[in-house]
Amino acid sequence: MLILDGKKVSEHLKNQLKTRVEDFKKQYGTPPLLKVIIVGQDKASQVYVKNKHLACEKVGMKSEILELPASLTEEQLIQEIDKLNKDPRVDGILVQLPVPKTISTEAIFKSINSEKDADGITFFSTGLLWSGVDHVFPCTPSGVIKILKYYNIPIKGQRATVIGRSQIVGKPMAAMLLNENATVTIAHSGTADLQEITKGSDIVVVAAGKPNFFGAEYFSEKSVVVDVGIHGTGSGKLCGDVNFAEVNGKVSAITPVPGGVGPMTIACLLENTLDLALKRKRQS
């Protein structure tokens, strides 16, 4: 069984980005700038934002964090986003999710200018993805495709199932696999006979948000399993949606948690920001 080492793939990508950022600085004088907005005091979000900031610094990019209070209204957030949309210094904008319940994610997906959409989550970016037009796309599914390609796992012509249909993981994942010419099934909480579907699939991407839920009965010895889920277990350890201990040795390849998809998400965010910065510079 092959372990798909996302940490290794992310280091490979970040090394490439470091060189590309140096070239960018030589040509344009300043590094790309990612602006991350965090609303409220969610502890996990604060850690994610800090990690993104450190990762930017590691590849020579700039990142600034805009911390806003949980009492912020949706209108105020949109105003802040709009300021960044208009700020010529800013190349990429990311709003760390989740935001407080008083703010709809829909408003965020609508208000970030797609030319600065570092997370690839706006409605416009989503439209481009499903139209098969080249753009920056959501970081987590982009990371999954990169892991599969790094390990030369065929996608074209393969039967791929995505478990989960969220706007930021499941749906874009399905679109990206489709754009790579896989035959794609999107499974969700209303899907009947899921085990039959996943067992008959070559690639299964699991993004259901259910800790240790998917055991050996969901897969075959030919399955390539990508586990997007990430959960704290209370003992300080992390686990995925797949019961790794049970599946271990019974599938052909699997991403571990931690060290699988997670590190790729951040690396793809950096790549998206650089790509957006280059696009804007070339257009101006």
Residues that bind ligand NAD (CB under 6 A): 140, 163-166, 168-170, 187-189, 191, 194, 207-210, 228-231, 261-262, 265
Question: Residue 188 CB, nearest distance to ligand NAD (Å)?
Answer: 3
Check: CB of residue 247 under 8 Å from CB of residue 239.
Answer: no
Question: Residue 177 CB, nearest distance to ligand NAD (Å)?
Answer: 15
Residue 96 is a catalytic residue: yes
Select which of 91, 96, 117, 241 is catalytic: 96
Residue (of 108, 110, 53, 113) closest to 84 by Cα position? 113
Check: CB of residue 224 under 8 Å from CB of residue 201.
Answer: no
Rounded Cα distance, 258 and 245, in Å: 13
Select which of 5, 14, 35, 52 is catalytic: 52
Select which of 5, 91, 117, 119 is catalytic: 119
Residue (of 92, 142, 89, 100) closest to 274 by Cα position? 92
In sign, the C-alpha dihedral spanning 263, 275, 138, 251 is: negative
Q: Please, which residue, 90 or 184, has the CB nearer to ligand NAD?
A: 184
Residue 119 is a catalytic residue: yes
Residues in the chain: 284
DSSP, collapsed to helix, strand or coil, labels residue 3 as strand
Q: Please, which residue, 253 or 264, has the CB nearer to ligand NAD?
A: 264
Question: Residue 25 CB, nearest distance to ligand NAD (Å)?
Answer: 28
Query: Could you give phi then psi for residue 226, rounded to 5 degrees?
Result: -115, 120
Q: Please, which residue, 90 or 226, has the CB nearer to ligand NAD?
A: 226
Q: State how far Cα 207 lies from the chain centre.
A: 11
Q: Please, which residue, 178 or 205, has the CB nearer to ligand NAD?
A: 205
Residue 52 is a catalytic residue: yes
Residue of closest CB approach to ligand NAD: 166
Catalytic residues: 52, 96, 119
